[in-house]
Amino acid sequence: MKLKNPPVNSLSLELLTELVISLEKLENDKTFRGIILTSDCPGVFSAGLDLTEMCGKNPAHYAEYWKAMQELWLRLYLSNLVLIAAINGASPAGGCLISLTCDYRVLADNPKYVIGLNETLLGIIAPFWFKDTLMNTIGHRASELALQLGILFPPAEALQVGMVDKVVPEDQVQSTALSVMAQWLSIPDHARQLTKNMMRKPTADRLVKHRDSDIQNFVSFISRDSIQKSLQVYLGKLRQKKG
């Protein structure tokens, strides 16, 4: 499955919705047992949340957008399919989150392909379920440093901290993901699925239980004048770069 929302695979409302629908189709078709998730945009896996969805819109739109983000995370995190991220580009913030929901991560060895939850650098906060996903992957202390400092890890450091499982030359990312997939598919599905659920369900249940309050928190935070201003400044800088 290739993410294709040029130029940087921002997680727009449309992309989030299409991803959920595609996942549902594949999960309901018993001929599919696994997905390799990768990018069709050169140099970027996904730049994460689409800031234009969070800027200058009304509270109802923010709520709809955040609900779609929650839905995608829940679907990916608890998927019965084997999910392998073939990370062939930079993966900050929401892009990192999507890769962390997968069962296994293969990252291309390119110093520009950084990965991490860098929300604090933009003056925003990674929600508790982003934090939980990271903590389940790299542990408490490493998460504490990574989240507070908004660290974007280059490949060797991402491997060292356990954010990815393998770093390989760029031209070997897909073939490595395929051979890893073969290893995962050699395990009986039922036993693997139950084990995955046992490991992950308590984390997912926390969001399910607090889903509405998480949406309210997001909407009230993103609607603040100060946050809207800083997002506008940041978007302005991005547009200047493009220009």
Q: 3, 49, 147, 207: which one is catalytic?
A: 49
Decide: 113 and 155 in contact? Cβ < 8 Å: yes
Q: Is 94 annotated as catalytic? A: yes
Q: 11, 89, 119, 207: which one is catalytic?
A: 119
**How many angstroms separate the Cα of 10 from the Cα of each of 51, 98, 143, 166, 183?**
8, 12, 24, 24, 31
The per-residue b/e assignment along 213-231, b for 16 or more CB within 10 angstroms, e otherwise, is ebbeebbeebeeeebeeeb
Tokens coding 176: 């490595």
**How many angstroms separate the Cα of 36 from the Cα of each of 11, 27, 32, 50, 150?**
18, 14, 11, 23, 27
* Bridge partners of residue 89, in order along the sequence: 43
Q: Is 119 annotated as catalytic? A: yes
Decide: 77 and 133 in contact? Cβ < 8 Å: yes
Amino acid at 207: L
Q: 118, 147, 150, 231: which one is catalytic?
A: 118
Q: 34, 89, 94, 95: which one is catalytic?
A: 94
Catalytically active residues are 49, 94, 118-119
